Amino acid sequence: MFKRSLLLAAGLLALASSVQAQTAPAPQHLMVEQARIEAHEAFLAGDALRGRGSATPDEAVAAAYIAARFQEYGLKPAPGMTGYLQTAGVVQRPATQPNRRPRWDVISPDGAERITTNAIGWLQGSDPSAGVLMISAHLDHLGVRDGVIMHGANDDASGVAAVLELARTLAAGEQPKRSILFVCYGAEEMGLLGSLWFARNPPVPISDIVANLEIEMIGQQDPNMPAGIMMMTGFERSNFGPTLKERGALIAPDIYPDQHFFERSDNYQLALQGVVAHTISGWATIPNYHTADDTIENLDFPFMTRAIQSLVEPVRWMATSDFKPEWAEGGRPQPRQ
Please tell me the predicted confidence (pLDDT) of residue 8.
Answer: 36
31 in any annotated domain: no
Whether 193 has a pLDDT exceeding 70, the answer reads yes
pLDDT tens digits along 290-322: 999 999 999 999 999 999 999 999 999 999 999
pLDDT mean over 230-240: 97
Round to whole Å and give the CA distance between 177 and 167: 15
**How many degrees, rounded to 5, is the angle at CA 269 between CA 167 and CA 322?**
50
| Cis peptide upstream of residue 156 (ω within 30 degrees of 0) | yes
Does the structure show a pLDDT above 50 at 24? yes
The answer as to whether 32 is a domain residue is no
In a domain, 51, yes or no: yes
Q: How many domains does the chain have?
A: 1
Judge whether 331 lies within some domain. no
CA distance 151 to 290: 9
Structural domain boundaries enclosing 153 = 37-93+102-320
Q: CA 307, CA 159: separation in Å to the nearest integer?
A: 11
Q: Nearest Cα to 210, choosing from 131, 272, 271?
A: 131
pLDDT band at 135 (very low <50, low <70, confident <90, very high): very high
Task: Kindly tell me if the per-residue pLDDT of 324 is higher than 80.
Answer: yes
pLDDT at residue 334 tops 90: no
- CATH at 181: 3.40.630.10
Minimum mean pLDDT range among 54-63, 92-101, 136-145, 240-249? 92-101
Cα–Cα distance for residue pair 13/18, rounded to 1 Å: 9
Please, what is the Cα angle at 85 between 82 and 88, to 5 degrees? 110
Mean pLDDT value across residues 238-264: 95
pLDDT score of 255: 95
Instruction: Report residue 245's pLDDT band, with 50, 70 and 90 as the boundaries.
Output: very high
Burial 270-291 (b: 16+ CB within 10 A, else e): bbbbebbbbbbbbbbebeeeee
Residue 290 lies in a domain: yes
Question: Does residue 16 carry a pLDDT above 50?
Answer: no
The more confident residue out of 150 and 8 is: 150
- In whole numbers, what is the pLDDT of the chain averaged over residues? 90
Q: What pLDDT, on a 0 to 100 scale, did the predictor assign at position 25?
A: 60
The one-character DSSP state at 156 is I
Per-residue confidence (pLDDT) for residue 13, from 0 to 100 = 38
User: pLDDT confidence of 93, banded at 50, 70, 90?
Assistant: confident
Residue 239 lies in a domain: yes
Q: How confident is residue 30, by pLDDT bands cut at 50, 70 and 90? A: confident
Flag whether 335 is in a domain. Answer: no
When comparing pLDDT for 337 and 323, which is higher?
323
Residue 272 lies in a domain: yes
The model's confidence at residue 98, banded by pLDDT at 50, 70 and 90, is confident
Calculate what percentage of the chain has a pLDDT beyond 70.
91
Counting beta carbons within 10 angstroms of the beta carbon of residue 223, is it exposed (0 to 12), middle (13 to 18) or buried (19 or more)? exposed
